[in-house]
């Protein structure tokens, strides 16, 4: 495809404001493109796929310099910058110059040789490979040569491409949808598959595209997650359709996006997963490890495509940057212990002399370091905590349940595999969290043991437990007798908070049907908020019973009303609005923390504070 044709399409896409029309326009362009992989990447302002660590490494100053030179002897880089300040965007500035005047000076005097997309891609890749002394001026020279051959619309796209910002209103989601529309959906785009074009593959079979839209998009999405290359996925969709996308798998050495977590509570986890896999949340930096041990250990895929591809451990950050060289002790650790090809997911944590975790900022001092690595290795040693295994010894594990992936992890790298404990008990989660915090970690992660690994997805299968919420100091205004062994003791305690005039005046207090304040379900000036029966040892129950008995006002069945005298501290998972209690709020999973001997009832928390806490959650 000629670059001018691409630039023209880009211009039309930029002018389009409707999403559907943009997707259709992109689908149309992809269907027509012979250099499909490159066109797809260019649309997203990329020369290299996201998993590729190469960059053009051309700063704005070099780009401005190249534009100025192509624009003629009277134009300087400062002129370009002045125009940039005025126009606000480099594409518009580049399009505003006439590069034709310089063409006579170029090697193509006597006739402009049109740039093709393929040629531009090659030139930019060559430019990316230039290194060392003088590389900057070499890069400016080659950019000058390219701008020199551009008409305004081409210059606009080239300048934006060089600086990695296409600004034509085509995002990753649009390209994903367009790939599906062009090559998978029946009567989408150009009807799918175009035999007349050559995408660089030697297989001309067309897609089997009878997919409906959302299935097709999901398939494309999935292939993007494992490959991180829009160009590759577009070619695959055109060449091998649904089957090809489905068969696309992991490749050791090609990083995938990390699975992400949402915030959630222990009760959320128990409610949605039943059994919860509880892991320590390490306070460090995410790392993905790819390793194919040498010594004839075989390849990285069932197809044997990588049979001789042994390579040392490579470490990638969450953004898929290669951080291998910065962390030699992790490389050595993995190389000395793992003897099958693997892709592992984990966290790198900086540790002190005793091996206790250091704050997150410390690991960042190691992560991207290029110089002084050996000295820093001594100063801030790092440790790996691996928590997932995406691939082991020829087996792709993304769709296996977490529990199976963890078993494989323990098999391949027992020394660094994070512990997992499975439970259905919220209090057990809390105690694991307390241990993790005590050991200097950040908290806990709560995962569904049945869940697959979904790269790049911030789903509900992994929950990072919210930091402990603030506790409440509540007044005990009622109690119920315990049962069985505890029949002689109070077992459940009715809690209330102060409901003073402020609360009523600001409307935070609940109002009865007749418009009156219904805080009367507690003693005057107090409004109930929940009952607590957990977190209480026999000893605590005996102590509370003794403290509260002198304040009993009335008794009916197992229930007692108490004068508001004793204040206790309670923890909870969440505060919800609720019609069940006089305050208008209810504590979710309240638990007894301790008696506030130092506080009188008048100093207990108010409905107002509860409302504020509820709002801030």
Q: CA-CA-CA-CA torsion for 247, 250, 252, 253, nearest 10 degrees?
A: 110
With residue 117 as reference, give the H or E element that holds it: helix 117-129
- Looking at the Cβ atoms of 293 and 449, the one nearer to ligand AMP is 449
Is 347 annotated to bind a ligand? Reply is: yes
Question: Would you list the DSSP string of 264-312?
Answer: E-HHHHHHHHSSEEEEEE-SSEEEEEEEE-SSS---SSTT-TTTT--EE
Spell out a b/e string for 310-323, using b for 16 or more CB atoms within 10 Å of the CB, else e.
beebbbbbeebeeb
Tell me if 360 sits within 8 A of 399, measured CB to CB: no
Q: In the complex with ligand AMP, which residue's Cβ is closer, 350 or 495?
A: 350
Two tokens, residue 430: 């809390």
Was 286 annotated as part of a binding site?
A: yes
464 is in an annotated binding site: yes
Shorter beta-carbon distance to ligand AMP: residue 177 or 345: 345
Residue placing its CB nearer to ligand AMP in the complex, 232 or 290: 290
Closest distance to ligand AMP from the beta carbon of 400 (Å): 16
CA distance 157 to 10: 8
188 with 181: CB under 8 angstroms? yes
**Of 279 and 362, which CB lies nearer to ligand AMP in the complex structure?**
279
**Looking at beta carbons only, is 149 or 281 nearer to ligand AMP?**
281
Q: Closest approach of Cβ 311 to ligand AMP, in Å? A: 24
E strands of 56-205, at which residues? none
* Residue 474: closest CA among 586, 612, 614: 586
**Smallest distance, ligand AMP to C-beta of residue 316, A:** 12
Give the whole-angstrom CA distance, residue 143 versus residue 179. Answer: 31
CB 460 → ligand AMP: shortest distance, Å?
14
Give 419 or 501: the residue with its C-beta nearer to ligand AMP: 419
Query: Taking phi first (over 0 means left), then psi (-120 to 50 degrees means alpha), and beta for anything else, what does residue 189 get?
Result: left
C-alpha–C-alpha distance, residues 519 and 509, integer Å: 8
Rounded CA Rg of the chain: 32
Three-state SS at 239: helix
DSSP secondary structure of 536-552: --HHHHHHHHHHHGGGE
Residues in the chain: 617
CB of 376 to ligand AMP, least distance (A): 21
211 marked as part of a ligand binding site:
no
Q: How far is the CB of 273 from ligand AMP (least distance, A)?
A: 15
Query: CA-based angle 595:444:289, to the nearest 5?
Result: 165
The least distance separating ligand AMP from the CB of residue 589, rounded to whole angstroms, comes to 22
Q: Which of residues 361 and 554 has its CB atom nearest to ligand AMP in the complex?
A: 361
Question: At what angle are helices 117-129 and 135-147 packed, to 10 degrees?
Answer: 170
Q: What is the rounded distance in angstroms from the CA atom of residue 52 to the CA atom of residue 478?
A: 65
Tokens 């504590």 locate to 587
Cβ atoms of residues 574 and 488 within 8 Å: no
Q: How many CB atoms lie within 10 A of CB 507?
A: 10
Looking at the Cβ atoms of 153 and 261, the one nearer to ligand AMP is 261
Closest distance of CB 327 from ligand AMP, Å: 15
Nearer of residues 22 and 451 to ligand AMP, judged by Cβ: 451
Annotated active-site positions, please? 281
Looking at the DSSP assignment, which residues form a beta bridge with residue 554? 561
Please answer whether residues 157 and 120 qualify as being in contact, where contact means their C-beta atoms are separated by less than 8 angstroms. Answer: no
Nearest one of 92, 99, 137 to 115, comparing CA atoms = 99
**DSSP H stretches of helix in 417-511:** 426-438, 501-505
Contact residues: ligand AMP, CB under 6 A: 258, 260-261, 279-282, 286, 347, 387, 418, 445, 464
Shortest Å, Cβ 575 to ligand AMP: 23
Return d(Cα 566, Cα 343) in angstroms, integer.
57
Contact, 224 vs 44, CB < 8 A? no
DSSP state for residue 229 in the 8-state scheme = -
- Residue in the shown chain whose Cβ atom is closest to ligand AMP: 286
Phi and psi at residue 560, to the nearest 5°: -125, 145
Rounded to a whole number of angstroms, the minimum distance from the CB of residue 259 to ligand AMP is 8
First to last CA, the chain: 54
Residue 318 in marked binding region: yes
Given a contact cutoff of 8 angstroms between Cβ atoms, the answer to whether 412 and 374 are in contact is: no
The response to whether 108 counts as a known ligand-binding position is no
Does residue 411 contact residue 391 with C-beta atoms inside 8 Å? Answer: no
Q: How far apart are CA 383 and CA 328, in angstroms?
A: 11
What residues form the annotated binding site for ATP? 279, 286, 318, 347, 387, 458, 464
Binding residues are 279, 286, 318, 347, 387, 458, 464
């Amino acid at each position: 495809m000629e670059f001018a044709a691409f630039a023209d399409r880009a211009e039309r896409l930029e002018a389009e404001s409707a999403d559907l029309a943009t997707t259709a326009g992109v689908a149309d362009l992809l269907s027509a493109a012979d250099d499909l992989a490159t066109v797809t990447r260019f649309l997203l302002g990329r020369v290299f796929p996201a998993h590729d660590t190469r960059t053009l490494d051309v700063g704005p100053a070099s780009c401005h310099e190249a534009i100025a030179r192509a624009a003629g002897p009277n134009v300087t880089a400062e002129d370009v910058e002045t125009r940039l300040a005025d126009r606000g965007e480099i594409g518009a500035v580049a399009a505003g110059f006439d590069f034709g005047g310089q063409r006579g000076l170029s090697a193509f005097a006597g006739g402009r040789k049109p740039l093709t997309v393929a040629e531009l891609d090659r030139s930019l890749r060559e430019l990316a490979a230039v290194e060392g002394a003088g590389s900057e001026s070499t890069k400016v020279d080659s950019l000058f040569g390219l701008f020199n051959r551009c008409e305004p619309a081409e210059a606009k796209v080239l300048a934006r491409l060089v600086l990695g910002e296409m600004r034509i209103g085509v995002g990753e989601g649009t390209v994903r949808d367009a790939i599906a529309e062009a090559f998978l959906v029946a009567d989408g785009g150009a009807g799918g598959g175009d035999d007349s074009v050559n995408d660089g593959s030697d297989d001309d079979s067309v897609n089997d595209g009878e997919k409906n839209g959302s299935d097709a998009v999901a398939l494309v999405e999935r292939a993007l997650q494992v490959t991180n290359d829009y160009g590759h996925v577009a070619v695959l969709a055109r060449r091998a359709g649904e089957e090809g996308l489905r068969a696309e798998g992991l490749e050791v050495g090609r990083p995938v996006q990390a699975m992400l977590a949402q915030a959630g509570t222990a009760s959320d986890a128990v409610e949605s997963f039943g059994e919860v896999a509880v892991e320590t949340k390490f306070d460090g930096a995410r790392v993905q490890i790819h390793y194919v041990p040498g010594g004839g250990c075989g390849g990285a895929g069932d197809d044997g495509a990588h049979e001789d591809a042994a390579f040392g451990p490579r470490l990638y950050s969450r953004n898929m940057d290669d951080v291998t060289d910065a962390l030699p002790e992790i490389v050595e650790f993995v190389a000395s212990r793992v003897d099958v090809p693997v892709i592992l997911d984990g966290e790198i944590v900086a540790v002190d002399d005793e091996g206790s975790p250091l704050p997150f900022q410390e690991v960042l001092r190691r992560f991207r370091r290029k110089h002084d690595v050996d000295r820093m290795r001594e100063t801030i040693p790092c440790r790996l905590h691996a928590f997932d295994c995406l691939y082991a010894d020829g087996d792709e594990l993304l769709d296996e349940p977490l529990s199976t992936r963890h078993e494989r992890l323990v098999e391949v790298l027992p020394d660094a595999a994070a512990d997992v404990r499975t439970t259905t008990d919220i209090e057990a989660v809390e105690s694991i969290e307390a241990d993790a915090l005590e050991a200097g970690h950040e908290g806990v992660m709560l995962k569904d043991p049945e869940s697959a690994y979904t790269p790049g997805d911030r789903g509900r299968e992994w929950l990072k437990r919210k930091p402990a919420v603030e506790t409440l100091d509540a007044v005990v205004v009622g109690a119920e007798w315990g049962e069985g062994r505890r029949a002689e003791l109070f077992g459940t305690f009715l809690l209330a908070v102060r409901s003073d005039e402020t609360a009523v005046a600001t409307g935070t207090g609940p109002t009865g049907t007749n418009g009156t304040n219904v805080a009367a379900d507690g003693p005057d000036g107090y409004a109930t908020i929940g009952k607590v029966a957990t977190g209480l040892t026999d000893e605590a129950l005996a102590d509370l019973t003794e403290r509260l008995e002198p304040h009993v006002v009335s008794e009916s069945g197992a229930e007692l009303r108490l004068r508001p005298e004793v204040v206790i501290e309670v923890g909870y998972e969440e505060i919800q609005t609720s019609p069940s209690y006089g305050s208008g709020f209810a504590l979710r999973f309240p638990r007894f923390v301790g008696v506030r001997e130092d506080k009188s009832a008048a100093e207990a928390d108010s409905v107002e504070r509860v409302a504020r806490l509820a709002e801030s959650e």
